[in-house]
């Protein structure tokens, strides 16, 4: 199950799509050319980058990834608690029937199930979840301004941070998945269909906002858990981490 971890491939990096993703997530993978746009033009740096990426043990990469995911989840927890405070919680919670837009993804529900999932699958799940929240985060950021909440500014600030961390983590997981085999490359598409507007009135907005945040909190926790499981499995040389 864990045989294909150290696949020496960093070819999945899409240097043009993001701003220096490799440099942000994995500084060691920075090619000597700071201009990543050159990567598409000159394959030679790509080869160099591949060589550089191969040099870092995957355990370290996973460790860094799990740190990002940990931070991400902490931010989302803070957001949820922040929103729950200062507002009269008398507004009704959302109906049980409504589910997160990511609930269609089949994820393990307990420890046994989780431990039975293969690593590439775990990575795939993590990446899928992460990618599913790219758009909703944007929606949330845009909706904060219209949100009548006393902690509106701090919420907006934290949303910004979450976007940055999410982006960085996504890029890093892309690199990691390149070293974990082809099953890790699969990303499940989980589109967000909530629209850009959370609601027409304040109450509806708050309710929807709260609901989204709760979904975000769970999903980031899943991502974090998966990565930490992967971390402990990948690197046996550092038993103190696990």
Partner 1 sequence: MMKKVILLWLLVFLMLHAEGTSYSLPGKPTMITCRSPEKETFTCWWEPGSDGGLPTTYALYYRKENSEAVLECPDYHTAGENSCFFNKNNTSIWVNYNISVVATNALGRTFSDPVDIDVVYIVMPNPPENVAVAVLGDEGRPFLRVSWEPPHKADTRSGWITLIYELRIKLEEEDEWEIHPAGQQKVFNIFSLRSGGRYLVQVRCKPDHGFWSEWSSTSYAKIPGYFHQERSVWILIIVFSAFIFLIFIWLIHMNSHNLKHFILPPVPGPKIKGFDEQLLKNGKSEDIFSSLVVSDFPPTTMSNYEDLLVEYLDVYIPEEHELMLEKNKDSRDNCLKSERSTSDCDSGHGSCDSHTLLMDKCGGTKEDRWQTHQPDSQMEIDAKRQDEALTYAHEDVISPDMSSGRVKTWPSVFSPLPQYSLKPLDQPSSLEMAKQHCLSDTLFPPCSLSSCQTQPSHSTKDGLGSNYWKFNFSNKQLHQLHPNTEPQQQLQAHSDINICSASANPQQHNQRSSEYVEVQRVNEQDMVLLHPVSSGHGKRCPEMNLAENYSKVKVMGNDNVLLQLQREMTEKEVAMCTYQQDQQTSEPETITTTPQKPAACIHSALPVLDERAASGYVDTTTMFTLPTY
Q: Which is closer to partner 1, CB of 46 or CB of 216?
A: 216
CB of 56 to partner 1, least distance (A): 20
Q: Which is closer to partner 1, CB of 96 or CB of 237?
A: 96
Q: How far apart are CA 214 and CA 133, in angstroms?
A: 12
For 58-112, give the secondary structure using H, E and C: HHHHHHHHHHHHHHHHHHHHHHHHHHHCCCCCCCCCCCCCCCCCCCCCCCCCCHH
User: Which tokens is 73 given?
Assistant: 């989840």
CA 173, chain centre distance (Å): 8
DSSP 126-146: HHHHHHHTHHHHHHHHHHHTT
CB of 228 to partner 1, least distance (A): 5
Q: Which is closer to partner 1, CB of 44 or CB of 242?
A: 242
CB of 111 to partner 1, least distance (A): 5
CB of 80 to partner 1, least distance (A): 10
* Positions that interact with partner 1 (CB under 8 A): 70, 73-74, 77, 93, 96, 99, 103, 107, 109-111, 114-115, 218, 221-222, 224-225, 228-233, 240-242
Q: Which is closer to partner 1, CB of 1 or CB of 115?
A: 115
Pick from 84, 202, 219, 89: which is nearest to 143 by CA?
202
Q: Which is closer to partner 1, CB of 22 or CB of 184?
A: 184
CB of 103 to partner 1, least distance (A): 8
Pick from 221, 209, 234, 226: which is nearest to 93 by CA?
209
8 Rama sector, left if φ>0, alpha if ψ -120 to 50, beta otherwise:
beta
């Amino acid at each position: 199950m864990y045989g294909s971890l150290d696949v020496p491939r960093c070819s999945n990096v899409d240097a043009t799509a993001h701003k220096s993703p490799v440099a942000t997530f994995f500084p060691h993978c920075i090619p000597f050319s700071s201009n990543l746009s050159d990567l598409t033009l000159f394959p030679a740096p790509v080869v160099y980058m591949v060589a550089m990426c191969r040099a870092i043990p995957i355990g370290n990469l996973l460790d860094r990834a799990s740190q990002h995911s940990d931070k991400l989840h902490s931010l989302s927890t803070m957001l949820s608690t922040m929103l729950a405070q200062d507002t009269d919680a008398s507004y009704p919670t959302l109906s049980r029937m409504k589910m997160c837009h990511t609930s269609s993804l089949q994820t393990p529900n307990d420890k046994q199930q989780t431990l039975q999932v293969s690593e590439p699958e775990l990575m795939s799940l993590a990446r899928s979840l992460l990618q599913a929240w790219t758009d909703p985060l944007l929606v949330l950021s845009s909706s904060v301004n219209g949100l009548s909440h006393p902690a509106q500014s701090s919420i907006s600030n934290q949303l910004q941070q979450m976007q940055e961390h999410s982006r960085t983590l996504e890029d890093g997981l892309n690199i990691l998945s390149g070293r974990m085999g082809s099953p890790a490359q699969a990303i499940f598409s989980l589109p967000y269909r909530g629209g850009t507007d959370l609601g027409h009135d304040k109450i509806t907005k708050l309710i929807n906002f709260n609901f989204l945040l709760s979904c975000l909190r769970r999903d980031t926790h899943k991502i974090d858990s998966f990565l930490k499981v992967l971390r402990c499995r990948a690197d046996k040389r550092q038993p103190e981490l696990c």
